């Protein structure tokens, strides 16, 4: 925060404190006439102080504004308590401020005024961050609601929420500025369009992007992005057949000879099948697989072997019915899961040798601690670890490497990077891992390699 911002916060805090204590301090009328308009300005104007004008979007300005109002609330509350608790005990009687026992009626009005003023500041700030912040997510909104009436705890939660908002504002604004600075370079304007292929049990929905905020960042930096649009649950062979047709269709639509594929999870196996068996190879310039189980998951072998056929069929029927409603014409839950087992991938790898003339690279990650992942990956991490070792919540680390180049993503500390984090599924900013910029650099590298 700049010096101007700090001075503004101090002035605003002082104004809030004085208004709240106006009854006890016997502030002159002319001062009151100045304080009230100033108070209205700091609480209700959307763009203050001046440096918030540097923020590139209205959403970030609102979040920033809310965070600062909450800082004013905290600071003024500390001043209020520091002044009024001693005053109630008679410490300031020599200055004309009576103890609470000597002027109970006056203290009643005074406390009600403080409550009113502080509530105006608090709720104005809280509503702003609740409505505008993306990184608070459901977690902090729910915690803030549940802990709002617990003394001390609510202040700790409030400080945490302010920090989350401040970090979000800086991070997102810096990202916008970075993109502005390199806009002319179009670092993601590859020779061939980008085809992004989803994994199992998801579809490419119009209003909820499987790849989170990644495609937008790629397009901002010059990429042309298309999607696989294959069924969410089918065998690798069936999905490969669908994707081969999709690849050819994208080439026809764009007039391009080839595409660059970025595929996540099972989508990587599907693309390999499209290349190996269904004639997509001549239309593919590069293939990047992200957290793809190239050697399968031993945990999946164990799970399928232990679940009885009646239960397996019941679960499959339930999933298939749900997937039909979501748009799959012919979903096959059992076939999709079976092709992710270690034993099935051993056979598939014999059918899908490394393609010639296509640049192939792979990426993988791991969760450092189960508690750091989002549900259900925080539940499955320990189970997968027992069979597959270090993993991303679903796939073991040893299953990721494939192709000419391999890169492993990790961060220090407890967090780690899950199977969903690598596609920005939760739209969460992770310290030490800017997933959007990671993909921008992957595509930028493809451009530099002539793809």
Nearest to 231 by CA among 345, 349, 319: 319
Tell me phi and psi for residue 259, to 5 degrees.
-130, 155
Reduce the DSSP state of residue 404 to 3 states and report it. coil
Give percent above pLDDT 70 in the chain: 90
Tell me phi and psi for residue 199, to 5 degrees.
-95, -165
Please give the C-alpha separations between residue 183 and each of 169, 193, 220, 259, in angstroms, as whole numbers: 21, 18, 8, 23
Reduce the DSSP state of residue 287 to 3 states and report it. strand
Same domain for 151 and 70: yes
Q: What is the 3-state secondary structure (H, E, C) of 221-235?
A: CCCCEEECCCCCCCC
Number of other CB atoms surrounding residue 321 within 10 Å? 11
pLDDT tens sequence across 379-393: 678 778 888 889 998
Tell me phi and psi for residue 340, to 5 degrees.
-100, 0
Determine contact, residues 189/225, Cβ cutoff 8 Å: no
Number of other CB atoms surrounding residue 66 within 10 Å? 24
Same domain for 368 and 230: yes
* Integer Cα distance of 392 and 401 in angstroms: 14
Nearest to 201 by CA among 434, 446, 6, 394: 394
For the chain, how many structural domains are there in total? 2
Reduce the DSSP state of residue 385 to 3 states and report it. helix
> What pLDDT does 47 receive?
44
Same domain for 297 and 174: no
Final residue of a structural domain among 179, 204, 223: 179
Same domain for 370 and 247: yes
* Integer Cα distance of 367 and 375 in angstroms: 13
Determine contact, residues 250/226, Cβ cutoff 8 Å: yes
E-assigned strand segments in 317-384: 359-365
pLDDT tens sequence across 318-362: 988 988 888 888 899 999 999 999 999 999 999 999 999 999 999
> What pLDDT does 308 receive?
77
* Integer Cα distance of 265 and 395 in angstroms: 9
Same domain for 298 and 255: yes
Tell me phi and psi for residue 442, to 5 degrees.
-60, -45
Same domain for 193 and 73: no
- CATH at residue 258: 3.40.50.1820
> What pLDDT does 252 receive?
96
Same domain for 207 and 152: no
Same domain for 374 and 408: yes
Final residue of a structural domain among 162, 179, 196: 179
Same domain for 120 and 33: yes
* Integer Cα distance of 65 and 376 in angstroms: 35
Same domain for 159 and 205: no
Same domain for 274 and 138: no
> What pLDDT does 281 receive?
96
Domain that includes residue 270, residue range: 187-448
Final residue of a structural domain among 126, 148, 179: 179
* Integer Cα distance of 29 and 27 in angstroms: 7
* Integer Cα distance of 189 and 226 in angstroms: 14
> What pLDDT does 380 receive?
76
Same domain for 108 and 213: no
What stretches in the chain show pLDDT beneath 70?
Answer: 1-2, 4-5, 8, 23-27, 29-30, 32, 42, 44-53, 92, 94-96, 101-105, 371-379
> What pLDDT does 50 receive?
47
| Number of residues in the chain | 451
H-helix or E-strand containing 408? Answer: strand 405-409
> What pLDDT does 37 receive?
78
> What pLDDT does 132 receive?
96
Number of other CB atoms surrounding residue 95 within 10 Å? 10
* Integer Cα distance of 130 and 141 in angstroms: 7
């Amino acid at each position: 925060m700049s010096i101007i911002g700090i001075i503004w916060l101090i002035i605003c805090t002082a104004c809030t404190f004085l208004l709240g204590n106006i009854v006890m301090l016997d502030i002159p009328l002319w001062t009151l006439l100045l304080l009230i308009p100033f108070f209205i300005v700091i609480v209700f104007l959307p763009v203050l102080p001046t440096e918030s004008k540097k923020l590139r979007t209205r959403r970030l300005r609102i979040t920033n504004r809310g965070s600062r109002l909450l800082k004013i609330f905290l600071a003024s509350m500390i001043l209020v308590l520091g002044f009024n608790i001693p005053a109630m005990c008679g410490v300031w009687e020599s200055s004309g401020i009576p103890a609470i026992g000597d002027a109970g009626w006056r203290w009643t009005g005074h406390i009600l005024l403080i409550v009113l003023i502080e509530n105006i500041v608090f709720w104005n700030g809280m509503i702003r961050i609740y409505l505008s912040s993306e990184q608070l997510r459901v977690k902090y909104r729910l915690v803030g609601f549940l802990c709002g009436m617990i003394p001390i705890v609510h202040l700790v939660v409030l400080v945490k929420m302010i920090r989350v908002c401040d970090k979000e504002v800086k991070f997102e604004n810096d990202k916008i500025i970075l993109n502005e600075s390199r806009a002319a370079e179009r670092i993601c304007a590859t020779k061939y369009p980008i085809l992004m292929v989803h994994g199992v049990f998801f579809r490419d929905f119009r209003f909820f992007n499987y790849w989170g905020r990644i495609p937008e960042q790629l397009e901002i930096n010059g990429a042309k992005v298309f999607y696989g649009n294959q069924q969410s649950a089918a065998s690798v062979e069936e999905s490969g057949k669908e994707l081969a047709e999709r690849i050819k269709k994208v080439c026809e639509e764009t007039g391009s000879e080839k595409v660059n594929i970025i595929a996540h999870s099972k989508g990587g196996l599907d693309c390999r099948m499209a290349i190996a068996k269904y004639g997509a190879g001549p239309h593919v310039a590069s293939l990047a697989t992200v957290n793809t189980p190239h050697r399968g998951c031993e945990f999946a072998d164990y799970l399928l072997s232990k679940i009885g056929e009646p239960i397996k069929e019941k679960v499959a029927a339930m999933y298939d019915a749900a997937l039909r409603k979501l748009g799959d014409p012919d979903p096959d839950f059992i076939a999709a899961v079976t092709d992710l087992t270690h034993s099935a991938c051993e056979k598939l790898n014999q059918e899908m040798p490394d393609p010639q003339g296509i640049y192939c690279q792979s990426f993988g990650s791991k969760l450092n601690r189960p508690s750091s992942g989002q549900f259900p990956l925080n539940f499955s991490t320990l189970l997968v670890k027992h069979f597959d070792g270090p993993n991303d919540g679903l796939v073991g680390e040893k299953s990721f490497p494939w192709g000419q180049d391999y890169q492993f993503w990790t961060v220090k500390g407890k967090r780690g990077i899950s199977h969903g984090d690598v596609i920005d599924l939760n739209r969460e900013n992770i310290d030490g891992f800017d997933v959007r910029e990671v993909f921008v650099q992957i595509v930028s590298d493809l451009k530099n390699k002539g793809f």
